[in-house]
Each structure stands twice: as C-alpha cells, then as structure tokens.
C-alpha cells in the first residue's frame, strides 16, 4: 500500500490534486434534481487507503479504520503507519472493522465484526503522535447481531460524554422493533459499556429503536442529535433523534405520518443518497453519501433542505471535522462497489463556504 499525506498548498499538491467546483444547488425534502456543479475546493489530505470506514482524532492526529484489512492507521504529515491490526475481525460484505471514536481520556472505541457478531471494544491510547500504540482492550458489548449487510457501525462520543453506537437490523427487519434486541437501534452507554441511569429503559443500552441501518451521527451546538439512515427501496432518511423514540422500520419508511413513529426531517431517494457518515460544522450538517456519490450540506435551522457541496469524488463514507476546524471527507471507492481511481481511497479536505 502507498499512503501519503498532503498539505493544502499548490506547491505540495500540484494542479492534478485540485478539484474546483461551481455554485451550490438547493433541493427540497424529496427532490433529487441536484444537477448543477457544486461549490468548494477539494484537495487530497491522504491517499492509498484500502476500504476505509471511519476517521477520528486523538490530539491532532487522525486515526483511520480499514474495513477489510482490520487495520487502524495513524495518519500524520510524515505518512501513515499501522497502529494495530484488530484481532478477530471477520470481514465480508459490509462487515469488518467499522467505526472509531476517541474520548477525552484518550480511550479509543472500536466497532468491528467478529465470528459471534458485532462488538464494541475500548483501548487506552498510549504514546505520542507518530508512535501511538494501544493498551489492553476491554470488550464493552459483544454479540450484536451481524450479517453480510446492515451492520450499522458508527461510534460517537456525545456532548454528554456518553458513547453512542449505531446498529443495523442485520437483514432481519423485525429485530428493529424488538426492544430486547440490540439490532436496528441507536445504543447509548457509559465509557465502561454500562447503561446510563437516564436511558429510556432502566438497564438497557437502547436509546432509540425502529432503525434499518444508521451510519451517521452528529450533534448541533444546542445538543440536538441527528442520524442518517439507509432506507430500503423508497427513502433514505435524516432523523432528529430523541430518547426512547421509535423511527418506524420496518413498518414505515420515510415520511409516513403514522402515530407512534417519528418521521424524518429530510428524505432522499436511495439512488441519490445512501447516507453514511456525518459531521456538524458552523450550523451545517455535512452528509457523506455512498450511492449518490455526493457530499450534502444540511442547515441545522432548516433541516428539510440541502445543497450538494462535492459531487466528483465517487463514494463517500465519512465526514469529520478536524481539531483545526477543517472539514474532511473519506472516499470509499475500494469497497467493492465503487470505481477506484489511482490514488484511492483518500481523505479529502473540503473548503466550504462558512459565511
């Protein structure tokens, strides 16, 4: 594998690395006519990644997971190095090494597929940038239902300091409505993997239910929680998530106005979206889309609308904000469903309008 990091300067990148894009295009809740060339400048921050899935940060260093190799890479200006190959990862279909998250105590949380299901593990991070290492692992949650698809896999530390994890229905939709199953849920836990006392059901990790396959989590400045969700054949979703809420799968998909279920604030046709990772920056949610191969910007104060920001990098798996406040997007063209380019996969730094 050839992996290198790049600065956002023309001297380092050269003309071929720059992607200059045109004006933003607005869309409504259900529209798919985002055809004009978007606005922004996208430049390569790291290249040569293989089926990458998640990006997180410890201090100012990026850590990247590779789904199929099971490797966690440390990406710095000097290049990329393997911090660890996670033991026991079973890859196949959409399973493998998936989400990463780091908390304020320098603990790394890892979501991966094992022989007995999906699991969430915690590792203490040791060492300095360029020489990071992982301490002894602790398994927080095991035997989350897994399959060749619909594994969820996103991890995020919320503003409340709790760890949130998304799980898919693992190909059995009825699990999403079963409160005793961990499948088709958003989970909320303490850093030790216990159920917080203020979770909706005492002793349960389940924070919300009725999900098909959530892969994106983000919070706005006022603490509102958002999640992106893959639909089946009708609608992909952007949801506002609240404790104990039921989002309807498999009984409903998209905006249905059915009592007892929470409707999404925005929906897209699956061919335009397949929304995965998401980041919040300056009052805007940035949604990485796999099937639609676009990065969408959704204003927090008008979440039923969106604009296309990037549309020429192929499949997009994750969006993150760096410690410096820049927006990074992770491409996913080497996952078996895309068309890889010579430098794929990449971390792309996107210069967006922040006015």
Q: Kindly list the distances between the CA atom of residue 170 and the CA atoms of 44, 173, 352, in Å, as whole numbers in the listed order.
A: 34, 8, 36
User: By mean pLDDT, which of 32-36, 119-123, 196-200, 302-306 is the weakest?
Assistant: 32-36
Could you tell me whether strands 284-289 and 295-299 are parallel, antiparallel, or unpaired per DSSP bridges? antiparallel
pLDDT at 237: 99
| pLDDT tens digit sequence for 331-342 | 999 999 999 999
pLDDT at 353: 76
| pLDDT tens digit sequence for 187-231 | 999 999 999 999 999 999 999 999 999 999 999 999 999 999 999
pLDDT at 3: 39
Other CB atoms within 10 Å distance of the CB of residue 174: 13
pLDDT at 310: 96
Calpha distance 171→16 (Å, rounded): 42
Q: What is the CATH architecture assignment of 15-351?
A: 6 Propeller (2.120)
Calpha distance 151→118 (Å, rounded): 8
**What value does the mean pLDDT take over residues 65-83?**
90
Note whether 316 and 276 are within 8 A (CB): yes
**What value does the mean pLDDT take over residues 270-283?**
98
| pLDDT tens digit sequence for 129-172 | 889 999 999 999 999 999 999 999 999 999 999 999 999 999 99
Closest CA to 331 of 315, 350, 311, 307: 315
**What value does the mean pLDDT take over residues 55-84?**
92
Percent of the chain with pLDDT over 70: 87
- With a CB cutoff of 8 Å and minimum separation 6, the contacts of 227 are 166, 186, 211, 214, 216, 217, 238, 239, 241, 278
Quote the mean pLDDT of the chain. Answer: 89
Instruction: Indicate the pLDDT class of residue 38, thresholds 50, 70 and 90.
Output: low
Calpha distance 20→39 (Å, rounded): 8
| pTM attached to this predicted model | 0.89
Between 273 and 17, where is the model more confident? 273
User: By mean pLDDT, which of 39-48, 74-83, 129-138, 241-250 is the weakest?
Assistant: 39-48
Percent of the chain with pLDDT over 90: 83
pLDDT at 1: 41
Beta bridge partner(s), residue 72: 65, 84
pLDDT at 14 > cutoff 70: no
pLDDT at 41: 55
């Amino acid at each position: 594998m050839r992996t290198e990091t790049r600065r956002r300067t023309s001297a380092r990148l050269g003309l071929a690395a720059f992607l200059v894009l045109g004006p933003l295009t607005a869309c409504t809740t259900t529209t798919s006519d985002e055809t004009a060339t978007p606005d922004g400048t996208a430049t390569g921050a790291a290249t040569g990644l293989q089926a990458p899935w998640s990006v997180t940060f410890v201090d100012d260093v990026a850590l990247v997971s590779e789904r199929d190799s099971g490797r966690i890479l440390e990406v710095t200006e000097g290049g990329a190095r393997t911090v660890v190959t996670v033991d026991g990862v079973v890859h196949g279909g959409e399973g493998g090494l998936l989400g990463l998250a780091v908390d304020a105590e320098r603990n790394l949380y890892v979501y991966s597929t094992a022989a007995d299901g999906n699991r969430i593990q915690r590792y203490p991070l040791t060492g300095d940038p360029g020489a990071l290492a992982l301490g002894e692992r602790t398994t927080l949650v095991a035997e989350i239902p897994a399959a060749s698809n619909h594994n969820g896999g996103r991890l995020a530390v919320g503003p409340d300091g709790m760890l949130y994890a998304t799980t898919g229905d693992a190909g059995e939709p009825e699990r999403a409505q079963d409160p005793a199953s961990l499948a088709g849920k958003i989970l909320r836990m303490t850093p030790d993997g216990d159920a917080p006392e203020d979770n909706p059901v005492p002793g349960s990790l389940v924070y919300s239910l009725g999900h098909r396959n959530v892969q994106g989590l983000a919070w706005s400045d006022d603490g509102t929680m958002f999640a992106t969700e893959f639909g089946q054949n009708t609608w992909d979703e952007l949801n506002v998530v609240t404790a104990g809420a039921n989002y309807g799968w498999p009984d409903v998909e998209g905006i249905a106005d059915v009592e007892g279920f929470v409707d999404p604030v925005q929906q897209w046709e699956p061919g335009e979206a397949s929304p995965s990772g998401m980041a919040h920056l300056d009052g805007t949610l940035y949604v990485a889309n796999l099937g639609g191969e676009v990065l969408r910007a959704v204003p927090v104060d008008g979440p039923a609308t969106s604009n296309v920001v990037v549309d020429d990098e192929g499949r997009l798996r994750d969006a993150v904000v760096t410690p410096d406040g820049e927006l990074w997007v992770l491409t996913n063209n080497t996952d078996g469903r895309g068309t890889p380019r010579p430098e794929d996969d990449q971390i792309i730094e996107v210069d967006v309008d922040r006015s």
